[in-house]
Chain A
């Protein structure tokens, strides 16, 4: 809810004065921020889990994102996509602190690592018993789906998450990830292919699909 025509101008204009006007508008800003951010906590946490991949780091990342976002909230244009804006901040927070801290080499060079994995995907046979595969994918436990998601390269995982879970447009994903739209498309393409490949493997391991590929 906007009580002032332009809260930014008011806040900036009296920022150094510490007047009552500033207190009121800061307070209003804080309440508006709170009202908009609290309903997005689950979303932010699920997104953070795709980056940090363990509950403690994901929680820290959400907290840091909220802190950074409030500092920049004056520059956020009301009515534009707050969720996308928050994920952009989270991406930066993650890159600047958590990724450095984690030091997991296979994540920073995700694209290279994926290259050899893709060979397997390329040789995967298609055709025949497709509807059985659809059913098998439907019956996989949720844990297999999240396991497959965390197994693909980080950039792929995030692109898939933003498109398939958050429903962001490619343009929004490009802004969040700080890459051209073409890069988003190739990440999505490769990420989803790899995901399908893994899920099909899991389904086969669990005996959910027919054994026409015995010996492979």
Chain B
């Protein structure tokens, strides 16, 4: 990505390359701060990051289905067989 009008195009490249690592807190403190400062200064990258944050939140909210009751009952029964006398 290259932001039209950004004073620091290399910062944009850097942010693009490491955005997910930044988001997942996988960067070392210096790298993390470098991206953070770029995001504070560059509206373009900030917008992209905002979008990635929404996507992460939506995925986290939607991909957490509850186990069906039937499965729960099956597993509880299975676990009981692990106890003494059960197997």
- Point out residues on A near B: beta carbons under 8 Å: 23-24, 26-27, 30-31, 33-34, 37-38, 41-46, 49-50, 55, 59, 62-63, 66-67, 70, 126-127, 130-131, 133-134, 137-138, 140, 142, 145-146, 149, 160-161, 163-165, 169-170, 185, 188-189, 192, 195-196, 199
Q: Is the interface of B mostly helix, strand, loop or mixed?
A: helix
Question: Please, which residues of chain A bring their CB within 8 A of the CB of B4?
Answer: 127
Tell me whether A30 and B67 are in contact (CB under 8 A).
Answer: no
Given A59-B74, A127-B4, A146-B63, A163 and B79 touching (CB < 8 A)? no
Closest to B75 in A: A66
Question: Known: A45-B67, A50-B63, A59-B70. Is A131-B50 also a contact (CB below 8 A)?
Answer: yes
The interface size of chain B toward A, counting residues with CB under 8 Å, comes to 39
Among residues of A, the one whose C-beta sits closest to the C-beta of B43 is A130
| Closest residue of A by beta carbon distance from B47 | A130
Q: How many angstroms from the CA of A43 to the CA of B47 in the assembled complex?
A: 31
- Counting from the closest, the 9 A-B pairs by CB-CB distance are A130-B47, A45-B67, A145-B62, A30-B82, A59-B71, A27-B84, A41-B67, A142-B62, A30-B83
B48 touches A192 (CB 8 A): no
Residues of B within 8 A of A37 (CB): 75, 79
Which residues on B sit within 8 Å (CB–CB) of A138?
A: 54, 58
Separation of A33 and B51 alpha carbons in the complex (Å) = 40
